[in-house]
């Protein structure tokens, strides 16, 4: 005749509670599953944000690349006059700004309007 411990030997061994893993959470707990779900969600969000930044800055970089490639290709047609006309245009714009602010006296009108207030 088999004793009661011999009959339920396999069941008793599997029914014993498991010990802690050192993290304070037992292996059968739901906390590791929640933690894994939270980390998966965070990883998905970070991948999406990273992709968004890559798309934004990649588009800006490609736009600048297209602009400078066009400008560089135009130099082959005009030679030295391409950059020279760029510098002349910038100097002309600064000269117009200087004339508006100093000769015409726009800043005096603005300052006078602020004093009246």
CA distances 46 to 36, 41, 49, 65, 87, Å, are 15, 9, 5, 28, 44
| Residue 11 within any structural domain of the chain | no
| Residue 58 within any structural domain of the chain | yes
Is the whole model's pTM more than 0.85, yes or no?
Answer: no
Cβ atoms of 38 and 31 within 8 Å: the answer is no
For the chain, 117 residues long, give each residue's pLDDT as a single digit of tens: 455 555 555 545 455 555 555 555 555 688 888 999 999 999 999 999 999 999 999 999 999 999 888 877 877 777 778 788 889 999 999 999 888 887 777 667 666 665 655
Residue 41 pLDDT: 94
Which residues does 28 contact at the CB level (< 8 Å), separation at least 6?
Answer: 18
Please count the structural domains in the chain: 2
- What domain range includes position 91? 80-110
| Residue 30 within any structural domain of the chain | no
Q: Are residue 84 and residue 98 in the same domain, yes or no?
A: yes
Which residues does 85 contact at the CB level (< 8 Å), separation at least 6?
Answer: 78
Residue 60 pLDDT: 92
| Residue 61 within any structural domain of the chain | yes
Q: Are residue 45 and residue 67 in the same domain, yes or no?
A: yes
Q: Are residue 74 and residue 46 in the same domain, yes or no?
A: yes
Residue 116 pLDDT: 57
SS3 117: coil
């Amino acid at each position: 005749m088999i004793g009661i411990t011999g009959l339920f030997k396999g069941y008793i061994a599997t029914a014993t509670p498991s010990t802690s893993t050192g993290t304070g959470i037992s292996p059968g707990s739901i906390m590791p599953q929640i933690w894994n779900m939270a980390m998966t969600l965070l990883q998905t969000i970070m991948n999406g944000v990273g992709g968004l930044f890559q798309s934004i800055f990649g588009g800006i970089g490609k736009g600048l690349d297209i602009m400078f490639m066009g400008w560089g290709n135009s130099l082959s047609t005009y030679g030295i006059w391409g950059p020279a006309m760029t510098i002349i245009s910038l100097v002309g714009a600064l000269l117009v700004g200087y004339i508006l602010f100093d000769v015409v006296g726009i800043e005096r009108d603005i300052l006078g309007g602020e004093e009246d207030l």
